[in-house]
Homo-oligomer: A and B are copies of this chain.
Amino acid sequence: MAIRYISINSKLYSEEDAKIAVSDLSIQRGYGIFDFLKTINGKPIFIENHLNRFYNSAKEMNLEVELDRQSLTNAVNELMAQNNIPNSGIKIILTGGFSEDGYTLHKPNLIITQVPFEINDDYLYKGLALASYNHQRQLASVKTIDYLQAIRLQPYLKEKKADDLLYHADGEVREAPRANFFIVKENKVITPKTAILSGITRSKILSLQIEGYTIVEQDFKLEEALRADEAFVSSSTKNAYPVISVDGQKIGTGKIGPVTRLINEKLFELIKQS
């Protein structure tokens, strides 16, 4: 297998050698932000949107990105050229940096990784079973590295025989740990508005035109989700991915619905045109 490279502060390292000092505030204090995008046939998809969000997350967390947009794009391109993985997921992480006292922010470390990404639409015929969980993510609008709850709850998912979590705040639906959530009900496609991460795929969906449907940001309760005609999650890896049940209760027909399928097709078109 070819060596896979990782970029740390714009230098390339083999996976084995890609290490950072334990004084980094990600290790000491869980402090960092990131963004994640995919490449298809060697082309980064919606990279401008992802970079916008990345710089915004950095700003919200008082992290200075040493590289300007062009230099950061160059660093991504350099990694892609070296790795030669046409279909991939690219993760750009910015940590709190090496801190002398383990608390005060220092010059951030920039880490870029790339992993192969299978394009496969079999999943459309499977769909996800979600388990609801009462949890409001802190700093929800910022893409921080905080996944304490999601990872801690992996055994809980197994126990519930579910594929992923659906966070709600005292009954008000928010999002999945790595994806936004949508329901289809009558002539509306609805996604929660409050205290969520603004996903890039979510924003693309909000911009779509679907005949006979309006697509809206609007908060709703878990009970409404259970009574929806269709439900799906959205993310860069999953596009629009059908949700077939929540807490063991079937949503709609328990299969991918026509609106989810149509949105998915339209997303693929957008991706092709991008």
Contacts and interface: CB of A to CB of B under 8 A. Distances in A.
B145 A27 contact: yes
A62 B145 contact: no
Contact of A27 (B23, B27, B139, B146): B27
Specify which of A22, A26, A91, A144 lies most central, judged by the most chain B CB atoms within 10 Å of its CB: A22
Interface stretch (A79-87, A101-109, A196-204, A245-253): A101-109
Nearest to A21: B19
Q: How large is the interface on A (under 10, 10 to 19, 20 to 34, 35 or more residues)?
A: 35 or more
Say what secondary structure dominates the interface of chain A: mixed
Please state the number of chain copies in the assembly.
2
A20 interface: yes
A29 B137 CA distance: 14
A104 B24 CA distance: 22
B26 A27 contact: yes
19 contacts: A8-B22, A15-B21, A18-B21, A18-B23, A19-B20, A27-B111, A27-B145, A29-B148, A29-B150, A29-B151, A30-B31, A30-B148, A31-B148, A62-B155, A96-B151, A102-B115, A105-B154, A139-B149, A144-B148
Interface of A: 6, 8, 15-16, 18-32, 60-62, 91, 93, 95-96, 102-105, 111, 113, 115, 135, 138-139, 144-152, 154-155
A262 to B, nearest CB: 30
Contact of A146 (B18, B19, B146): B146
Given A20-B20, A21-B18, A31 B135 contact: no
Nearest to A104: B154
